[in-house]
Amino acid sequence: MRIIIIGAGPGGYETAAEAASRGIEVVLVQDGPLGGTCLNEGCIPTKALCAMDAPDQTRKAEIIAQLQGGVAQLLRNKLITIVPGRARLAGPRSVEVDGQVYEADAVIIATGSVSASLPIPGADQTLDSAAMLNLDHVPGKLCVIGGGVIGLEFASIYRKFGSEVTVLEFCPNILPKFDVDLSKRLKASLAKRGITIETSARVTAVDNGTVRWTKAEKDFSVQADCVLMAVGRRPNLASLNLDDLGIRYTPRGIEVDSDFQTSVPGIYAIGDITGGMMLAHVATAQGRRALNHICGQGDGIDFSVVPAAVFTVPEVATVGKTEEECAGMDIAVGKANYRANGKAVASGQADGWCKVLAGKADGRILGVHIMGAHASDIIHEAAVLVAFGATTKNARDIIHAHPTLSEVLYAAIPNV
């Protein structure tokens, strides 16, 4: 069996490695560096900056190069052929790259996403996240358009570096898809760190560093040395030749079924290109599901339980339902503060909070939301509890080591 994978980001390269481990021949088409956006212009370089006290482009490049080497090693398999270039679908089982046509039993599209931008005057005067990562200086004043994951991470990073930061978010809350309680607490915490955040703000123009915006029918402006456009990402649909093959898609992404197969049998799409949760670990899991379907195998991956983390200061992390999504349900809500946790206080990381949602009737844990140090690590215990349908009694019966930050999750479990 042979499959063609278009895209060498986490979804593409990890699926390629898994397929080869099953004895499947893989053609991996790579348009750009190995690792895709996540490794080269997203998750990894931003986390590198999070660990720095000032922008260090040399150190960032070293980290990326080291991890690219790891990906190359993972793909060093006689069953994997890496083909550099941009691919277009030439048929339901064929892909063309620079005039060369490759045939396969199945095709997986994993071309990811690109930065989105507002259609406003002066948008071309802003930086996207990739350009922001390459700054070798700290701007005195930074304006971030967008209070989502990308915008807030850069806001936290450059506030730590010393920038005066203003965030403008169109929605009533930052992190619009997160639990509202969590979003409000993070906004207050970031404000204490000196980040100015304006919500319900509609940006109308950028003019030589002046960002104009409206709120409640009033006009405002802020002056900045650097303006970051961080209003999300859009599927990278360019040049794939979807129309000629009859593959259904919208501007939001390629339409797929529960096995991530498109409207054309044998062609699959995974990751950001499908327009769902644009997270590297989601793309990887979707790749496993698509590969299992190609191989005629089943799995128990639950795509309704996906942990997500935002690497602000403090971190936030979430899994399962938000309190808003539980509207109309009879639920119990438990909360605990980091300031009551021995490890948090002893380590000077007492700014934090955890919320656990559970059904009153059966005690089943429905969602967990955390703000605080190492939230991105603690959330995985919560993910296991939610994924396996654990009850509050199950969770309370688990012994936690003391003193640890994970005890804040235990303390937040409601008594139902």
Distance CA 13, CA 152 (A): 28
Distance CA 125, CA 122 (A): 5
DSSP E strands, 120-194: 141-145, 164-168
Q: Do 249 and 240 meet the contact criterion of CB atoms below 8 Å apart? A: no
Burial (Cβ within 10 Å: 0-12, 13-18, ≥19) of residue 66: exposed
Residues sharing a CB contact under 8 Å with residue 379, sequence separation 6 or more, in sequence order: 307, 309, 317, 318, 319, 368, 370
Distance CA 371, CA 45 (A): 22
- Phi, psi dihedral angles at 7 (to 5 degrees): 120, 130
Active site residues: 402
DSSP E strands, 251-324: 253-254, 267-269, 308-310, 316-320
Question: Which DSSP state fits 378?
Answer: H
